[in-house]
Structure 1
Amino acid sequence: MNKKYILFFLFGLLSITISAQSLAEAKALYEKGEYEEAKPTFKKLVKTQPGNGNYNLWYGVCCLETGEPAEALKHLESAVKRRVPSGQLYLARAYNDLYRFEEAIETYETYISALRKRKRSTEEAEQLLEKSKSNLRMLKGVEEVCFIDSFVVDKEKFLDANKISPESGKLFMYDTYFNDSGKEGGTVYETELGNKLYYSEMQPDSTLSILSRNKLLDKWSDGSLLPGSINEAMNADYPYVLTDGIT
């Protein structure tokens, strides 16, 4: 009988040791930014201890960093409720990734206020806050588009097939408009007054970014990259500006 108890005790001790090792290994992977590898362990820990704020934070961050903001959200909210440090930063990021920009802004502002009280740097959080504010402005400028017809055309004839009214400006292919530039690009939009260009152009890192030019007396100014989050995507193309000059 004593042997059975001893064996059971040793088995339990071994299980605890393995669990502790798994947690330590997962935290090491987490600290190195290897979130995909760390995620399964934190997922198991959250299931066994759903009220643990740190486990919720670590699993939520792993989900967020591996492209699962929806899965991350409830765990990061749980971490924030339990006042886990840095939880608000990641929760705000999750809100931003889910296009819930107003909640992201509010959470960033709360987090920044807390950092200031502790006399910590707010630079990173303020940059992310401005990004969410920019995203919100862009979202408010989005218009619903209703397609009443569709047809198939060759890529080279795409712009010819899309007729827009003269007061809406003009669209061109990059190699047609800048036929002697020696560069590559996507499309070019010229405003109704013909005094400004928006166009996509290949960058040194082989991605497309949107630039603008202003009409001078007898020539165009040099191109300048558009600011903000417009060019943060892998490829930015097909620029178009409404007649309000903003959207």
Structure 2
Amino acid sequence: MKSYFKYIMAAAIAATTGLTAAGAPKAAPKGGKSMEEIELMIRRGALDEATEALDSAAAAQPKNAQIDYLRGKCLVARNDDANAIKAFEDAHRKGSNDALLELAEIAIREYRVDDAEGNIDDYKAYIAKNKRKKLPDNSDEISSQLTRTRAMLDRVEKIVVFDSITVDKDAFLDAYRLSPEAGSLNYPDMLPEGTDYSDPTVVYCTEDGREMLWGAQNDESVFTLRSIHRLADNSWEKPESVGDHLGQGYDANYPFLMPDGVTLYFASDNEESLGGLDIFISRNNGTEFLQPQNIGMPYNSPYDDYMLAIDELTGAGFWASDRNRLGDKITIYMFIPSQSRVNVDLDDPTLAQRASLRSIRDTWPTGADFTNVRKALDNVKESVKKRAPQFELSLPDGRVLTSYRQFTSEHAAGLMEQYVSLKKATDEAKKRLAALRIEYGNGNTGVGPEILTMEDDMEQAEAQLRRVANDVIRAETGGNVK
């Protein structure tokens, strides 16, 4: 089995992309990579290497539908849906029925629900026509996603998005401007010392500073919402769960509590989500938070949407989204909240555009003037946010560095960037290994060889981390590290 260590070293481990096309030849062309090896490259984020291998395979096996299918998956991983569509269409023309599901998924992401339904119908028709082959029907999940998307397109809220900005994903809170009356959004290191939290999360603090809410993983590695209250003597109570039911067994994170103390917004990737994190709302009945509801479009999309916050004083709301697929950057949308929900007419020709926010100008009423809300935001002093450390490095001379600007050696700072990148990739690999072990424990013994390979590679990666850390310290202090 191919080693993963080179990918960890390159910090190229990406989110796992499921590859489900079945029935195509797995053999490698002479001197080339097998389809199985290419699948693994795509899963590990080695997209350039996968593309090169696919080009070689296509030259040797031009009629192999699996090559076009995998090319489509590779293009999707590059966020190039336009060319991915062509690759999947080629795969289908050459005999890949599974390519229809990929085409349906892209169509759903683009809100072309009728096209998606046609793809799914064709997929099911092929299975029905070939009953003797006993082909598995893998369309349930995509069909459910289509149903959810159709339902949400029927109730797209008519909001006004007056601005949007692109920011670094790791520092997106800096774009939020909230008046003190709305509370504050903070980085998690502002929590009382010893308080458990999990990255990534955001800590919401009420105006009076006496309650904080945030996300932390439970024993099953699922994010749940936690809260903590300040006592009269300014000490803090023990953190407690806000409501394990809010995430419905899935992640619940990025909370924002309205000043009424009743209305809670948060993000979850549960089964009612369009895909990734969606924004949900729940209300407290005086005893507990009730069953949450998905707030729908245009707030939510097939991608991650989270951290909705509303400031009633300025009349502005914010939320974060990666629907534009900008890599390490995300989009912050700023909108004008309304007292009651009004939906876009179903026969409005701009319905899909307003749902997807292809252009925020589609949401502007005639003669829109946002002078007042912009002036209100300008008058809000930027909230003081304790920035989470970029890393923590203890030096022999007693210094503890937490940001690149603290280095006295540019070379050491450059080495530290390598260390942080390598550690991030290694941590992602550890998560993948943990997931594989769970699969193995649930009876999928086929992942055994991959587990063994990854365990060996983890040892190499950990050793390399130690070497790079020592190099950083030597470069900064000019001494030897024992």
Do both proteins adopt the same fold according to a TM-score greater than 0.5, normalized to the shorter chain?
Answer: yes
TM-score range relative to shorter protein: 0.5 to 0.7
Cα drift, residue 74 of structure 1: 0.7
Counterpart of 1:176 in structure 2 is 206
1:236 to 306, 312, 320: 306
Cα drift, residue 45 of structure 1: 5.0
Query: Equivalents in 1 of 2:295, 2:77: separation in Å?
Result: 22
8 A contact 2:282–2:292 mirrored in 1: no
58 and 134 in structure 1: CA distance in 2 versus 1, 3 angstrom threshold: same
8 A contact 2:72–2:84 mirrored in 1: yes
Counterpart of 2:445 in structure 1 is none
List aligned pairs for 1:106-145, cutoff 5 A. 106-116=118-128, 118=131, 119-122=134-137, 124-140=138-154, 141=156, 143=158, 145=160
TM-score of the two chains, using structure 1 as the length reference: 0.59
SS at match of 1:187: strand
Counterpart of 2:42 in structure 1 is 34
Which one is further off, 70-79 or 55-64?
Answer: 55-64
1:157 to 159, 179, 195: 179
Cα drift, residue 132 of structure 1: 2.5
Deviations 1:7-48 (A, max 9, x none): xxxxxxxxxxx96222xx151323436352322222455578
**Number of corresponding residues:** 203
Cα drift, residue 95 of structure 1: 2.2
RMSD: 4.5
Q: Which has the higher strand share?
A: 2
Counterpart of 1:58 in structure 2 is 70
Which one is further off, 101-110 or 45-54?
Answer: 45-54
Opposite residue 212 of structure 1, the aligned amino acid is: I
Deviations 1:187-246 (A, max 9, x none): 3458xxx8973412799xxx9874433453xx1532545469959754512276873488
TM-score of the two chains, using structure 2 as the length reference: 0.34
Query: Equivalents in 2 of 1:75, 1:84: separation in Å?
Result: 11
Query: Equivalents in 2 of 1:27, 1:82: separation in Å?
Result: 16
8 A contact 1:69–1:98 mirrored in 2: no
Deviations 1:136-186 (A, max 9, x none): 4334515473649xxxx97232987xxxxxxxxxxxx95227964442355
Which one is further off, 221-230 or 51-60?
Answer: 221-230
Query: Runs of 5+ in structure 1 lacking a partner?
Result: 1-17, 161-172
Cα drift, residue 107 of structure 1: 1.0
Cα drift, residue 87 of structure 1: 1.8
8 A contact 2:267–2:305 mirrored in 1: no
SS at match of 1:238: strand
Structure index of larger Rg: 1
Query: Equivalents in 1 of 2:149, 2:92: separation in Å?
Result: 23
1:221 matched to 2:251? The reply is no
SS at match of 1:88: helix
SS at match of 1:57: helix
Query: Equivalents in 2 of 1:52, 1:92: separation in Å?
Result: 21
Runs of 4 or more consecutive aligned structure 1 residues displaced over 6 Å after TM superposition? 47-51, 239-242
1:84 matched to 2:114? The reply is no
Q: Which has the higher helix share?
A: 1
Query: Equivalents in 1 of 2:162, 2:295: separation in Å?
Result: 30
33 and 99 in structure 1: CA distance in 2 versus 1, 3 angstrom threshold: farther
8 A contact 1:69–1:97 mirrored in 2: no
100 and 39 in structure 1: CA distance in 2 versus 1, 3 angstrom threshold: farther
